[in-house]
Structure 1
Amino acid sequence: MSSSKFRYPTVTAVVIANMVGTGVFTSLGFQLLELRSGFVLLALWAIGGLAAVCGAMTYAELGAAMPRSGGEYNFLSRIYHPAAGFVSGWVSATIGFAAPTALAAITFAAYATSALLDEPSAWLQKGLACGLVILLTLVHAGSRRGSGGLQWLFTILKVLVIVLFCVAAVTFAPAVQPVNFLPTSGDGTLILSGAFAVSLIYVSYAYTGWNAATYLSSELEEPQRTLPWILMGGTLVVTVLYVALNYTFLAVAPMASMTGKVEVGYIAADAAFGDIAGRFTGVVLALLLVSTVSAMTMAGPRVLQVIGEDFRGLSLLAKTNTDGIPSNAIYLQAVLTLTFILTSTFESILVFAGFTLALNSFATVLGVFVLRIRQPHLPRPYRTFAYPLPPIIYLLLTAWTLTFVLLNKPYEGLFGLAVVASGLLFYAVSARHGRTASAKALDQT
């Protein structure tokens, strides 16, 4: 068994760690601005999980049929056109990983300083967030053994802490909140409302990361056999964790205290355990976000690496160190991440990142229909279970979300479209230097 490949548990850990992070520890506060039904709020997270599982099932077919690192960049290049793949890679590099990594680092700093200090400085939080990014960049740009081992350790700790937090909070909270988690009159109308669709924007961002394993396909042992189970297994685990965690938040903390707040986990811990124990729990929850930053620092640069392999003008990004790690790409993503931390607000990053990533995955899931029509004889070691239902469910839910982003958050939505347009311009410039022979050969397969 080759030590130069990532094993099944490590890549499953990447999927879980990429998903469980900023969104689930911050989204509830925004959702409570419009929704106050316990059943509807849990349904929101369950529906988000359904969409993620359907997306993962579809990506599993694409990943098994085209097992090369790069995720959507690889898929869209071969399904549609190299320009589509390049734009996807551009989105992943500028928004898809750098922006969420910045959000996770910012949330880590906010939780840690809020738990330790009464009035934390904004610049102290930015400095702590930057320090975490720099530290993990150095770790992941070093050796594969240190990279995979760190990821697996932090992800196991993350899952255990979330489970223990849920059990302990519900068990020891001084009072259970009067929240009804069973359907009541009016809940059906609320689920079909615009407020629910807007809230689904935040939930879809929280589930972002279920496709992370496809960015490491070429570095995975037996990808055609294991990738489908990694994608679906990791996504199902996270769905259960999300529903349990939001049930806990709502059960132990008053809705009014969490409405509009980012640090809902810390607020729930304080309500359940008191000031001192709540502060300690806040620090622990902050540490959970280390694995999220770690996973994104690990997976994202592989997109830049594949782009560098395909375009001669960007070949510097494809260079690896003696352990086969794309260190140049890792350093570039770190620079982009630090730029987001120092120049942007949490809310602006969250909305336009969620919109742009959803648009990216929408085009990819749609590609499973295109590929079956254009290449019906392509070997498919895994075929999407219950096809075509999972991709249809994903496309309908995502289209609903994208529409409401443009209607309710037009500036952020248009900014995301501007990023896509800039990717097309950058492709035109890069294509002048020519694509490599290996990239052209893949177009013919």
Structure 2
Amino acid sequence: MSRRCQEKTSALQKLACNARDAQHYAVSSFKPSVAAAIVIANMIGTGVFTSLGFQLVEIQSAPVLLALWAVGGLAALCGAMSYAELGAALPRSGGEYNFLSRIFHPAAGFISGWVSATVGFAAPTALAAMTFGSYLSAVFPALSPLWLATGLIIVLTVAHSTSHRGSGGTQRWLTWLKILLILGFSVLALLFNDSGQQTAFVPAAGDGALLFSGAFAVSLIYVNYAYSGWNAATYISGELERPQRNLPTVLIASTSVVCLAYLLLNFVFLAVAPMEAMVGRVEVGYVAAGYAFGDAGAAIMGILLALLLVSTVSAMILAGPRVLQSIGEDFAVFRPLARVNGDGIPVTAIVVQATVALAFLWTASFDRILVFSGATMALNTFFTVLGLFVLRWRQPALPRPFRVVLYPLPPLIFLAITGWTLLYIVLQRPAEALISAGIVASGALFYWLSATLSRRVPSGEPPAPA
């Protein structure tokens, strides 16, 4: 066959493949409401219900604490806007793996995917499951928190290994339940609080200095962890209806909703419970509920918090495996990770991520997982947002259905806040910083091994269903 005939045949095959993919996604894809549910559920999880106690160790000012959450929300919103432009310009599932592979080098993408798979989703899944088990066992002491957490991960892994309709429907109603419970708790706590707590929300002398202190920067470690997940929709953009149009709206709107929810929750915590009662405590929601409603209310809050965390674990089990799937599509040695069922669900990748999460659950401590995973994820997003500048410079003519408003201000704000936080992690928590560096180094090693053993295949050519 002549070269011209081969090129013609290849073009026809590509057109047929694209038509087949379009037909598949028209029938079996995630709606924008599901993508929004994934972002919201990924963000509202362990961090907001546990980190205030750590922040109160160094900061005893309610206005500064609320400013802390506002700054974290600003960083998340600026990051979401940056990711929205990247996702619209480079639409494919995989999040940072997809972006960094195409902007910098496949090695950068692989390391990012490695980080996302081992830390970005598996570790927070374990944290959220741990918190779920702890809150529920506090109400029902006969139940084992470890086995409750294990059971939750297994049940949700099975639920998300079926179909897009079943997976998306599960996520959507769990997220709506989470929003309703947060609003219900906040309104009832403010209306029926009889603790007599009088927190001052007016700035006082010295608050300005606190805003630029090392304590504020260290506290941002926990706040940024609580906001992590604003990028979750980019992990399933290849399965999102009209991603170039819908992805920016999903990312920006969902992040804004969560920012408002975080400010409301922390205002309620500070308004109903004395600061000294929450200092150093992990279960700040439980403490606040006790002051607002009494012992019975605290028990109810424990159950509600456990229910809230179900959707968090669910969202991470749904979104994270898409990174592993993308790696499997691009590296032959990891090809089993790209295997999908008849509905396009990457079952193998879902099971692998759940297994890693269970390993974290059974072997590591809560605080250590939180800090090193927060640092590693921040590093991941830092280089991805930096890639926005590189992509605009290298490919100015690339179609961009969405462009960052007020560019370059939002990505610069994100880089400044995130870089400040990373600097203080290195200075204040060097052990966790070394663990993060070790994870990145291991990703580089695995890339070298994979590149050596694998035959690189073109991006965007998914294997046939299992």
- TM-score, normalised on structure 1? 0.97
Q: How far apart are the structure 1 equivalents of 2:424 and 2:235?
A: 29
Does 1:333 pair with 2:353?
yes
Could you say which residue in structure 2 is the equivalent of 1:355?
375
Out of 23, 30, 40, the position equivalent to 1:16 is: 40
Worse-matched range after superposition: 279-288 or 149-158: 279-288
Aligned-pair identity (%) = 60
CA contact (8 A) 2:341 2:347 kept: yes
Out of 430, 441, 455, the position equivalent to 1:421 is: 441
Could you say which residue in structure 2 is the equivalent of 1:231?
251
Does 1:135 pair with 2:155?
yes
Does 1:301 pair with 2:321?
yes
Q: How far apart are the structure 2 equivalents of 1:321 and 1:411?
A: 41
Structure 2: which amino acid aligns with 1:106? M
Over 3 Å counting, the alpha-carbon distance change for 1:440 and 1:251 in structure 2 is closer
Q: Secondary structure at the match of 2:26?
A: coil
Could you say which residue in structure 2 is the equivalent of 1:433?
453
Could you say which residue in structure 2 is the equivalent of 1:111?
135
Structure 1: which amino acid aligns with 2:299? R
Deviation of the 1:270 alpha carbon: 1.1
Out of 401, 404, 408, the position equivalent to 1:388 is: 408
Could you say which residue in structure 1 is the equivalent of 2:390?
370
Q: How far apart are the structure 1 equivalents of 2:427 and 2:455?
A: 39
Could you say which residue in structure 2 is the equivalent of 1:318?
338
**Unaligned segments of structure 2, at least 5 residues:** 1-24, 462-466
Worse-matched range after superposition: 275-284 or 385-394: 275-284
CA contact (8 A) 2:332 2:457 kept: no
Out of 286, 294, 303, the position equivalent to 1:266 is: 286
Deviation of the 1:176 alpha carbon: 4.3
Does 1:46 pair with 2:70?
yes
Structure 1: which amino acid aligns with 2:137? T
Could you say which residue in structure 2 is the equivalent of 1:204?
224
Deviation of the 1:3 alpha carbon: 3.2
Q: Deviations over 1:243-265 (max 9, x none)?
A: 00000001111111111111111
Q: How many aligned residue pairs are there?
A: 438
Worse-matched range after superposition: 253-262 or 48-57: 253-262
Q: How far apart are the structure 1 equivalents of 2:351 and 2:188?
A: 40
Could you say which residue in structure 2 is the equivalent of 1:399?
419
Q: Secondary structure at the match of 1:43?
A: helix
Q: How far apart are the structure 1 equivalents of 2:439 and 2:459?
A: 24
For residues 137-216 of structure 1, the aligned pairs below 5 Å read 137-216=157-236
Out of 254, 261, 266, the position equivalent to 1:241 is: 261
Q: How far apart are the structure 2 equivalents of 1:252 and 1:115?
A: 21
CA contact (8 A) 1:37 1:179 kept: no
Q: Deviations over 1:275-334 (max 9, x none)?
A: 112201210111100000000000000000000000011000000011110000000001
Structure 2: which amino acid aligns with 1:72? E
**Unaligned segments of structure 1, at least 5 residues:** none
Could you say which residue in structure 2 is the equivalent of 1:99?
123
Over 3 Å counting, the alpha-carbon distance change for 1:236 and 1:160 in structure 2 is same
CA contact (8 A) 2:329 2:335 kept: yes
Runs of 4+ in 1 over 4 A off after TM superposition: none
Q: How far apart are the structure 2 equivalents of 1:59 and 1:177?
A: 41
Does 1:252 pair with 2:272?
yes
Could you say which residue in structure 2 is the equivalent of 1:74?
98
Q: Secondary structure at the match of 2:459?
A: helix
Over 3 Å counting, the alpha-carbon distance change for 1:378 and 1:339 in structure 2 is same
Q: How far apart are the structure 1 equivalents of 2:460 and 2:391?
A: 18
Structure 2: which amino acid aligns with 1:132? L
Q: How far apart are the structure 1 equivalents of 2:49 and 2:216?
A: 19
CA contact (8 A) 2:192 2:293 kept: yes
Could you say which residue in structure 1 is the equivalent of 2:299?
279
CA contact (8 A) 1:176 1:251 kept: no
CA contact (8 A) 1:116 1:279 kept: no
Q: How far apart are the structure 2 equivalents of 1:42 and 1:15?
A: 22
Structure 2: which amino acid aligns with 1:345? S
Worse-matched range after superposition: 263-272 or 362-371: 263-272
CA contact (8 A) 1:92 1:303 kept: yes
Could you say which residue in structure 1 is the equivalent of 2:112?
88
CA contact (8 A) 2:199 2:271 kept: yes
Q: How far apart are the structure 2 equivalents of 1:278 and 1:3?
A: 45
Q: How far apart are the structure 1 equivalents of 2:234 and 2:363?
A: 30
Higher Cα radius of gyration:
2
Structure 2: which amino acid aligns with 1:23? G
Over 3 Å counting, the alpha-carbon distance change for 1:10 and 1:176 in structure 2 is farther
Deviation of the 1:126 alpha carbon: 1.1
Could you say which residue in structure 2 is the equivalent of 1:7?
31
Q: Secondary structure at the match of 2:183?
A: helix
The CA RMSD over aligned residues, in Å, is 1.4
CA contact (8 A) 2:331 2:457 kept: no
Q: Secondary structure at the match of 2:282?
A: coil
Q: Deviations over 1:403-442 (max 9, x none)?
A: 000000000011101100000000000001334431399x
